Amino acid sequence: MNLLRVNNLYFGYRKGEEVLKNISFEVTDGITCILGPNGCGKTTLMKILATLLKYGKGQIIFNDLDYANPSQLMEIRKLIGYLPQRFEAYSQLTAKEFLYLTINLKCDKKFLDKTKMETMINEIIEVTGLGDYACKKIKTYSGGIKQRLGIAQALIGESRLIIVDEPTASIDVQQRKAFKDLINSIKKERCILISTHLLEDVEVICDN
């Protein structure tokens, strides 16, 4: 079982102006939602958990690895998959090409064997339902298909903590259902943390 622990977390973009104040929670395997209005600090928290922002005070531990320990930070990053609110990919690439690029940027050399890379990408394409789009250019994708590619890149490597920021804000009702089915299909043995301002997302997607 995976475990994310956040204890007494504080963060501010400017000295004396704290965006996050004394935040504490625990997340285990399954889908957990952070619900709150726009501007309340959800994206800031997600960026901190994705190691894109350094927090001020507090403690973050994932699977006994401490975010504050520089020697453990690279190991933590190998275990994280991140889908930002505004996911962008090189539009001239195909999904396969983009996933190959992601592997080269993220993974240890043990994954940089051509056969292993091909196997990993094919498995992720199958799980995320991208088979019909794998060799099509990303610029031809709808919002829902691009969202699937965002999940696919988050699964690259040994991801055990999947961080997803406002995933359904810009997709339609049918695409939301497809996202729900996809996210439920990948939650086994993973912590999936989703931020949203939409109550219906919590009602239909989340376990916690």
pTM equals: 0.88
Tell me what pLDDT residue 109 has: 64
pLDDT for the residue 168: 72
Neighbours of 101 (CB within 10 A): 15
Residue 10, strand partner residues: 57
Residue 142: HSE in the Cβ half-sphere, 13 Å Cα cutoff:
10
Give residue 111's identity as a one-letter amino acid code.
F
Cα–Cα distance for residue pair 87/107, rounded to 1 Å: 20
pLDDT of residue 63: 96
pLDDT tens digits, one per residue of 16-55: 788 999 999 999 999 999 988 888 899 999 999 999 999 9
Q: Give the pLDDT confidence score for residue 136 in this predicted structure.
A: 95
pLDDT reported for residue 66: 97
Q: Confidence band (pLDDT; 50, 70, 90) for 81?
A: very high
The pLDDT of residue 157: 84
What confidence score (pLDDT) does residue 110 get? 60
Question: What pLDDT was estimated at residue 65?
Answer: 97
Q: CA-CA distance, 9 to 20, in Å (whole number)? A: 7
Q: Which residue has the higher pLDDT, 123 or 50?
A: 50
Residue 172 has pLDDT above 70, yes or no: no
49 neighbors 5 (Cβ within 8 angstroms): no
CA angle 142, 144, 149 (to 5 degrees): 95
Domains, the chain, with CATH or none: 3-205 (3.40.50.300)
Phi, psi of 22 (to 5 degrees): 55, 50
pLDDT tens, residue by residue, 87-119: 888 999 999 999 998 888 887 666 577 788 888
How far CA 47 is from CA of 27, 72, 85, 192, in Å, comes to 16, 18, 10, 14
Rounded distance, CA 42 to CA 46, Å?
Answer: 6
Burial of 96 (0-12, 13-18, 19+ CB in 10 A): middle
Give the largest Cα separation in the chain, rounded. 52
pLDDT in tens, 176-202: 777 788 888 888 889 999 998 878 778
